[in-house]
Amino acid sequence: MRILGIETSCDETAAAVVEDGTTILSSVVASQLDTHGKYGGVVPELASREHLRAIVPVVREALDSAKTCLGDLAAIAVTAGPGLAGALLVGITYAKALSFARGIPLIGINHIEGHIHAVLLEATREGRAIAYPAVALVASGGHTHLFEVREGFAYRLLGKTRDDAAGEAYDKVAKLLGFSYPGGPVIDRLAPLGNPHAVRFTPARMKGNPLDFSFSGLKTAVLRWVEGHDLAGEIERRRELLRSTPRPSVAQWMAVTPRRTLDLLASFQRTVIDELLRRAAAAAEKIGAETLIVSGGVASNSGLRAAAAEAGLPYAVLFPSPDLATDNAAMIAAAAFPRLMRRERDDFSLAAQANLPLA
Ligand code: KG4
Ligand code: ZN
């Protein structure tokens, strides 16, 4: 059973063909980095325009490289939310058109459930059974959520960020310091070169739900540190580097980044990782989890992966491979497979839902 997945919730136009929920026959991701990079964040209007340009060739490439024609498809899965409304609409409209023209079942998928399925897909493919209940930590540029996951893909929200998402904190700190967008990958590569204990940031204390996150205080603390240390010169040198070299290497970044700034990045990253893992562990303890699933763009962070491995947690900890951690359409097709098996489908009233909850 082949499912075509389509994902346009943010700044990646993606399409994939996945067989039986586990075998990725193709996965095409067209990034809009060159469009948004110079603004240091995603510009919604530009995202919609770029999706419109890319959607037809990206879907065609996914079908071609999977040696699949529309007639072979058992379903078309498309991200219905959460995400940017205009961006979601491009994928949904195209999915509906294909579905209508060829009479192929349409299945709307929650983007966050997609991120969780990125991990389930790989585990199933490798023949590893997931022990439930599980806790899923989904951390990306748009969300930082903790869910309880039960057998049969039932979800319960345990906690979420009250302000910035973890990836958003990376992106904002990178922008503030003159690094490239998105901030996660560059900070991930530079943080190991600094001392993670050099700058002390106070962990966020949450009133109410202790499983909620907050990252805006940390971002402000980094801003205060920068203001107190006269970094204007080096920030300008990094911005200059970015103007002349769209994708600088680690060595090029290091040439314009003094030790104290590497220490700042290392300390920032350590704080984010501590916050994520501390609450994930508390959530796992609360529900007696047998498995911790970590997914979303931030799950590709090497420091987070190492810290989770070193923590010696008393349950399985599963990360997706890096390609499946960031936005892609294979995870959307995989999430649709159990729904297809249950004969669930959507009709043409399927709408873009910018704040679609997962419950
Ligand atoms: O899941 P994703 O591709 O898109 C959203 O749904 O938001 O996640 C993108 C986010 C960005 O904020 C990016 O900075 C962050 O994930 N990210 C990382 C890393 N790679 C991407 N954050 C930390 N370390 C990384 N290696
Ligand atoms: Zn995402």
Q: What is the pLDDT of residue 238?
A: 97
Q: What is the pLDDT of residue 37?
A: 82
Query: How many Å lie between the centroid of ligand 2 and the Cα of residue 11?
Result: 10
Mutate to test the pocket of ligand 1, among 326, 328, 355, 356 (most ligand atoms within 8 A of CB): 326
Q: Which residue has the tokens 């990045």?
A: 265
User: Any idea which architecture 2-119+324-341 has in CATH?
Assistant: 2-Layer Sandwich (3.30)
Q: Which CATH superfamily is domain 132-314 in?
A: ATPase, nucleotide binding domain (3.30.420.40)
Q: What is the pLDDT of residue 212?
A: 98
Q: From the CA of 111, which ligand is nearest?
A: 2
Q: What is the pLDDT of residue 111?
A: 98
Q: What is the pLDDT of residue 246?
A: 82
Q: Is residue 298 lining ligand 1, measured as CB closer than 6 Å?
A: yes
Angle at 20 between CA 340 and CA 125, to 5 degrees: 130
Mutate to test the pocket of ligand 1, among 88, 168, 298 (most ligand atoms within 8 A of CB): 298
- Report the 3 state secondary structure along the chain: CEEEEEECCCCEEEEEEEECCCEEEEEEEEECHHHHHHHCCCCHHHHHHHHHHHHHHHHHHHHHHCCCCHHHEEEEEEEEECCCHHHHHHHHHHHHHHHHHHCCCEEEEEHHHHHHHHHHHHHHHCCCCCCCCEEEEEECCCCEEEEEEECCCEEEEEEEECCCCHHHHHHHHHHHCCCCCCHHHHHHHHHHHCCCCCCCCCCCCCCCCCCCECCHHHHHHHHHHHHCCCCHHHHHHHHHHHHHCCCCCHHHHHHCCCHHHHHHHHHHHHHHHHHHHHHHHHHHHHHCCCEEEEECHHHHCHHHHHHHHHCCCCCEEECCCHHHHCCCCHHHHHHHHHHHHCCCCECCCCCCCCCCCCC
Q: Is residue 164 lining ligand 1, measured as CB closer than 6 Å?
A: no
What are the residues whose beta carbons fall under 8 Å from the beta carbon of 92, sequence distance 6 or more? 78, 79, 80, 108, 350, 351, 352
Q: What is the pLDDT of residue 40?
A: 78
Q: What is the pLDDT of residue 232?
A: 96
The model's pTM is: 0.96
For the chain, the first-to-last Cα distance in angstroms comes to: 26
Q: What is the pLDDT of residue 224?
A: 97
Per-residue pLDDT of the chain (359 residues; tens, 9 = 90+): 999 999 999 999 999 999 999 999 999 999 988 888 878 788 898 999 999 999 999 999 999 999 999 999 999 999 999 999 999 999 999 999 999 999 999 999 999 999 999 999 999 999 999 999 999 999 999 999 999 999 999 999 999 999 999 999 999 999 999 999 999 999 999 999 999 999 999 988 889 999 999 999 999 999 999 999 999 999 999 999 999 998 899 999 999 999 999 999 999 999 999 999 999 999 999 999 999 999 999 999 999 999 999 999 999 999 999 999 999 999 999 999 999 999 999 999 999 999 999 97
Does this chain's domain 2-119+324-341 share its CATH topology with 132-314? yes
pLDDT digits (tens, 9 = 90+) for 151-167: 999 999 999 999 999 99
Q: What is the pLDDT of residue 275?
A: 97
**Domain boundaries of the chain, sorted by first residue:** 2-119+324-341, 132-314
Closest to 31 measured CA to CA, from 331, 300, 329, 274? 329
